[in-house]
Amino acid sequence: MKPVKPPRINGRVPVLSAQEAVNYIPDEATLCVLGAGGGILEATTLITALADKYKQTQTPRNLSIISPTGLGDRADRGISPLAQEGLVKWALCGHWGQSPRISDLAEQNKIIAYNYPQGVLTQTLRAAAAHQPGIISDIGIGTFVDPRQQGGKLNEVTKEDLIKLVEFDNKEYLYYKAIAPDIAFIRATTCDSEGYATFEDEVMYLDALVIAQAVHNNGGIVMMQVQKMVKKATLHPKSVRIPGYLVDIVVVDPDQTQLYGGAPVNRFISGDFTLDDSTKLSLPLNQRKLVARRALFEMRKGAVGNVGVGIADGIGLVAREEGCADDFILTVETGPIGGITSQGIAFGANVNTRAILDMTSQFDFYHGGGLDVCYLSFAEVDQHGNVGVHKFNGKIMGTGGFIDISATSKKIIFCGTLTAGSLKTEITDGKLNIVQEGRVKKFIRELPEITFSGKIALERGLDVRYITERAVFTLKEDGLHLIEIAPGVDLQKDILDKMDFTPVISPELKLMDERLFIDAAMGFVLPEAAH
């Protein structure tokens, strides 16, 4: 049953309380939720109202949730409040780990659970807006979303095939089914009395427009949370990102903040202010900085890259320290281009950003091979060069943009530590000292599920490196080759014994550059791009 929209009076968009708004959500509806980690574009007031209503009335029931980007705080925020048995029966997410209570339901087989690559998912919403059945893409071939593997299914109760293998002109592709949502929770900063909305205080746009179009064109209800309203036709047309005819309900939250906690808006993050070059931003010399420094060595002048969340996210600050940050462009899949990459749960809340695209367009660029290099964090690596991030230690994390980014980037740099679980290191006298070894080996013989396929990367001619605090590997046809080790570590005791397989030892094995281990600027000069 399609939801019934509240009427407009004299063209004015209905303005309701969040509690009134969620009363328009029927049982069995498909709800698409905008937002990214740390509170970015999260319609928190609407999410809270829906969660509270279900606690009190046990309605609406059996919702399906679509969440393209991981929103939340890796604890109780984001869509975690919706993790109530009976409220949600089905979920399709690009990323799961930011809202772990939803992941818990999937791990316990209490909901049907799917994972599309984040970019693919937002593109299927665009397809739903155009009344197309789905999209065809080679993104995901050879990974767990490939129907010859898990088909994007995350647990035992998930049975229906949403992804199919197809072939055109003797080339394999994946067909991803588009799911048309009935309800949207989106957010903006300001809207006028007819619903035209601007994002001046927000960090980015994500796929707000795509979601609103998908819901509107399929007869659903678009609910938009804003911080304030203004008179009709007083917003600059070039600032409007959501046209009013797409919006069915507005909920005003005057206490809406740009991110979780803190000031209502940080003008550096919104792009209104910039940090000048004299502002010192640096990382302490530790294993995270060591990995970021070594990763920077893979960058070239004029390159366009992507940086992912995790240990890789320090590369921008390291480049700033070395005075070469303006010699290349780092992007984030959620839309930001250039600037200083943020760290932590509000990843993508950058400073000094040069431009911001909508997320769907950013992924179009990635899928088409636009990236020269990407920097992604890994959870596990196997002897074939496969990487796993979407499940780790039994926990569902989801892929995020990992599959989209790593599928076509010309050079792929995976960053992480060799072991995990209480690993402690020190860098002294130009050497790396393992103070306390990690409990968990991250380089294992075989991955149970694959998020990045080494085989497919080699077939596509991609250059793949794995950078850790004590060793650097490259991927070749016969597997991983160890090409560098850190000064101060023992090859056998500290590297080979901490792996479940033996890599090929390069005959040209060398020490990692000594500049990486000094607590001062390295004097690094970015190499020219090869032509």
Q: Looking at the annotation, which residues are catalytic?
A: 333
Which residue shows structure tokens 């917003």? 235
Query: Strand (E) positions, 3-77?
Result: 30-33, 63-67
**Looking at this protein, which amino acid is placed at residue 146?**
D
Kindly tell me the burial class for residue 169, based on how many C-beta atoms sit within 10 Å of its own C-beta (0-12, 13-18, 19 or more). exposed
User: If we measure between CA atoms, which residue out of 497, 488, 302, 480 comes closest to residue 378?
Assistant: 480
Say which residues have a Cβ less than 8 Å from residue 84's Cβ, sequence separation at least 6.
51, 54, 55
- DSSP codes joined into one string, 311-375: GGGGHHHHHHHHT-GGGSEEE-TTSEESSBPP-STTTT--BS-SEE--HHHHHHHHHTT--SEEE
Query: Residue 90 has which token pair?
Result: 């089905």
User: If we measure between CA atoms, which residue out of 220, 249, 284, 218 comes closest to residue 426?
Assistant: 284
User: If we measure between CA atoms, which residue out of 31, 78, 84 comes closest to residue 55?
Assistant: 84
Q: How far is CA 307 from CA 6, 209, 475, in A?
A: 43, 24, 20
Query: Strand (E) positions, 209-290?
Result: 221-226, 228-230, 240-242, 249-252
- DSSP codes joined into one string, 451-512: SB-HHHHHHTT-EEEEE-SSEEEEEETTEEEEEEE-TT--IIIIIGGGSSSPPEEEEEEEEP
What is the Cα Rg of the chain in Å? 23
User: If we measure between CA atoms, which residue out of 84, 128, 286 comes closest to residue 219?
Assistant: 128
Query: Residue 196 has which token pair?
Result: 């035209």
Distance in angstroms (rounded) separating the CA atoms of residues 403 and 423: 27
Q: How far is CA 258 from CA 35, 44, 49, 206, 352, in A?
A: 11, 11, 19, 14, 17
Strand 380-382 and strand 373-377: the pairing is unpaired
